[in-house]
Chains A and B, each alone.
Chain A
Amino acid sequence: MPLGDLYRLPIQALEHWNIRVTDENRKQLEERSLKSFEEEWKVVTKEAYEAIHAAIEASGLGPGNTLLNENLAQMAAEIIVNIAKHKPEDEFIDMCDIGAGRGDTTGAILNELRFGPRISLLKRMRIYFIEPSADTAVPIRDMMKSYETLIRRNQQVRGADYDNLPMLKDNLFDIVVSNAVFHHKSFPTQFGELSRLIRPEGALVIGDWYTEVWQNPKYVAYLLKNSLSADDHMLTEFMRAFGTNWEEVSKFWNDAATDPTVNTRLEGMKNYIYNLNNELIKRQATLCLVEAHELLEQRKKKLQQHGFETDFKNLKERPAFKGMRGNYREVVPKNFAGVGAFAPKKLVA
Chain B
Amino acid sequence: MHAARSVRTILDSSPGHARKNFSDKLAVEQHTEGHGRIFRECNVPIKPGCLVKIWHGSYANWGIELNGTNKELREWAKTRAEHYAKKDIDDADRYIDRNDLVIQPHTINMNTSGSLVARITAEIVKKIGESRDKDALLKIAVIGARGGSLIGSIVAKLRELDENIIDNIQFHILEPSEKKIRLAESTLPILGLNELRKTRKGGFSLEFKSDEQFFSTWPKEDLDMVVSFFHMHGKPFPDYLGDLRAAMKDDAALVIADTYSPMWQHPVFVYGLLEDINIGQKILEQFRDHFAVMPLDDAQKIITTLNATEIQSLRDHHDYWLKVAEELNRGRYEKSLYFLRAHTTVTQRKLELATHGFTTEEETIHKAFPGILESQNIMLPCRIDPASDFVTVMVALKQQLETTNGG
Contacts and interface: CB of A to CB of B under 8 A. Distances in A.
- Interface SS of chain B: helix, strand, loop or mixed? helix
A207 to B, nearest CB: 13
Contacts of A46: 330-331
B105 A143 contact: yes
Interface stretch (B2-10, B129-137, B287-295, B378-386): B378-386
B190 A67 contact: no
A333 B192 contact: yes
Contacts of A333: 190-192
Interface residues of A, number: 46
A114 B102 contact: no
B105 A117 contact: no
B210 interface: no
B115 A64 contact: no
Nearest to B160: A325
Interface in B176-197: 183, 185-192
A45 B49 CA distance: 32
A116 B112 contact: no
A169 to B, nearest CB: 30
B12 to A, nearest CB: 36
B323 to A, nearest CB: 7
A70 B111 contact: yes
Contacts of A243: none
B323 A142 contact: yes
A118 B108 CA distance: 18
Contact of A104 (B108, B153, B330, B382): B108
Contact of A114 (B148, B189, B384): B384
A22 to B, nearest CB: 39
Nearest to A69: B111
Contacts of A115: 116, 376-378, 382
B189 A67 contact: no
Interface stretch (A13-21, A31-39, A52-60, A176-184): A52-60
A155 interface: no
B32 interface: no
B263 to A, nearest CB: 17
A101 to B, nearest CB: 9
B100 interface: yes
Given A57-B183, A104-B107, A117-B377, A111 B112 contact: yes
B387 interface: yes
A156 interface: no
B153 A70 contact: yes
Given A57-B147, A70-B114, A102-B104, 5 more contacts: A64-B149, A66-B149, A67-B149, A108-B112, A332-B191
